[in-house]
Structure 1
Amino acid sequence: MSWRRPVRWLLTLLAVTILLAVAGTFVPRPLWPVAKADDVAGLRHRILVFSNPIHTDIAIALDTETRSRFSFLEDNGMPLGHPNARWIVFGWGGRAFYIETPTWADLKLMPVFKGLTMDRSVMHVDVAGEIVEPSDTVTAFEIGDAEYEKLLAYIEASFTPKDGMIAAIPDTAYGPNDRFFEANGWFSAVVGCNTWTAKGLREAGLRTGWWNPLPRSLTTSLALYN
């Protein structure tokens, strides 16, 4: 009889988690559409949302404005000035899992454990060329000036400066076009990479689900409410 109580609690926890995940997808946030200041003037900025089975990123177009605003990326050796560079891709995640798992073949127990409990966070930034869209993993949105500014400010505020400078974490990049940086906030299974993306998209004037811990939850809610 002693084993039944823990099993019952586990099943209850699983049921509650599933219920919250479903509700988090189909209950929009904000509940009602918000009037956008730039609707009259028209929508002018194109952003992309990348998704894979466990992670989402936000991509912004690389132009004079974004190259200047995120000039610290070039200071850290990222090829913003390359003639084929078109997009800057931003993602937030758990330090151990993000840095130590560039591919599924690199999966280790401790980074997974930290990702499911709590870990320090990092920003991963990549420079990309032409991107084929639409596709199963890329969704585009058009947003106005005010919303675009809020999104850029949100991304910028996610980095943690040290002594007034933002420096890449040494020896952590996957390749020549990307870098990892210290980030604000703590990562967990409840507040993870996809909730960071969802919050950024809400700053950009889009509606997401109330809680989007998984990419499928986020992309489904984006399709429903935008």
Structure 2
Amino acid sequence: MAAAAKRALALLRAVAGWAALALGAYFLCGWIGSSFPVNRDFRETDDGVEILIATNGVHNSIVMPVRAEGLDWHRVFPPADIGNPYRPYTHVGISWGQREVFLDTPTWADLSPLLVLRVATMGGEGLMHVEHWASPQPSEHYRPLRISREQYRLLVRALLRDLPPPGQRRSYPGYGPQDVFYDARGTYTLYLTCNEWVGESLRRAGILTGAWTPFESSVMKWVERP
């Protein structure tokens, strides 16, 4: 029995060691991938559209004015879909992530290690998160970028790439009275994370960011503090 216990302990240590090595390699690859700039010729424009790159410390989103360049986001994401549709909302924030993580973890305390392990190894269906904001102000967590009108149009196209047509998507209650979730295409993986989805949207629009942005910091490192 003692020998069997020792072998089991040695196996457990080996598994833990390899898991720690794999995790370290993943974070290192993420840091390296996000350090290579894409669209390095990007410059902010004085007469363009101001957007904000938002973060809650773990998850990024892109915040845009409700109406700009002929697009009314309220026609795409009606305020009637949220708990409080009556405020004078001026901006919408869009992000994408894994369905179970979004719907089943209203707070970080609800995020179980088992769910993290399952998502990390198996991925999962995507879901879109839309927040409605009334005059968000630039800050450490809401960093402004003024992009050209053409870049804005490309960004809109990129953000809508995984949104099914209105008749083919459902909405789900958000975390509060001003946000909502929608069905979305795409599969969350260790490569295509919620933050890499934001980074890919920025790259498609010609906006400076990293080549691979799996983490919150991977995106924010390229956006200057206000």
TM-score, normalising length from structure 2? 0.80
Q: Does the aligned pair in 2 maintain the 1:79–1:127 contact within 8 Å?
A: no
> Aligned residue pairs: how many?
214
Range that drifts further, 152-161 or 192-201? 152-161
| Structure 1 residue aligned with 2:131 | 126
Q: Distance in 2 between matches of 1:5 and 1:109?
A: 20
1:211 CA displacement:
1.4
Q: Distance in 1 between matches of 2:50 and 2:111?
A: 34
Q: Does the aligned pair in 1 maintain the 2:169–2:184 contact within 8 Å?
A: no
Counterpart of 2:28, as a letter, is: L
SS of residue matched to 2:77: helix
User: Deviation per CA, 1:10-49, whole angstroms, max 9, x where unpaired?
Assistant: 454244323312212321124x426x8x96xx54101111
Are positions 1:74 and 2:72 aligned together? no
- After TM superposition, the structure 1 = structure 2 runs for residues 33-182 of structure 1, keeping only pairs within 5 Å, are 33=41, 43-63=47-67, 65-67=70-72, 71-74=75-78, 77-78=81-82, 82=86, 84-117=88-121, 118-133=123-138, 135-161=139-165, 165-170=167-172, 172-182=173-183
Q: Distance in 2 between matches of 1:33 and 1:88?
A: 27
Q: Distance in 2 between matches of 1:189 and 1:219?
A: 19
| Structure 1 residue aligned with 2:216 | 215
User: Deviation per CA, 1:179-209, whole angstroms, max 9, x where unpaired?
Assistant: 2111111012321110011111122321211
| Structure 2 residue aligned with 1:13 | 22
Q: Does the aligned pair in 1 maintain the 2:130–2:181 contact within 8 Å?
A: yes
| Structure 2 residue aligned with 1:195 | 196
* Alpha-carbon distance change, 89 to 80 in structure 1, aligned in 2, over 3 angstroms: farther
Counterpart of 2:140, as a letter, is: D
Counterpart of 1:27, as a letter, is: F
1:5 CA displacement:
5.8
Counterpart of 2:63, as a letter, is: A
Q: Distance in 2 between matches of 1:83 and 1:192?
A: 32
Q: Does the aligned pair in 1 maintain the 2:50–2:146 contact within 8 Å?
A: yes
User: Percent identity of the aligned residues?
Assistant: 23
SS of residue matched to 2:167: coil
Q: Does the aligned pair in 2 maintain the 1:155–1:200 contact within 8 Å?
A: yes
* Alpha-carbon distance change, 166 to 62 in structure 1, aligned in 2, over 3 angstroms: farther
Q: Does the aligned pair in 1 maintain the 2:63–2:93 contact within 8 Å?
A: yes
Provide structure 2 residue ranges, at least 5 long, that are not aligned to the other structure. Answer: 1-6
1:112 CA displacement:
2.6
RMSD: 3.0
User: Deviation per CA, 1:158-196, whole angstroms, max 9, x where unpaired?
Assistant: 2123xx6254334x3223322211111101232111001
Q: Distance in 1 between matches of 2:59 and 2:169?
A: 24
SS of residue matched to 1:213: coil
Q: Distance in 2 between matches of 1:165 and 1:157?
A: 16
- Work out which of the two has the higher radius of gyration on C-alpha atoms and give 1 or 2: 2
Q: Does the aligned pair in 1 maintain the 2:143–2:223 contact within 8 Å?
A: no
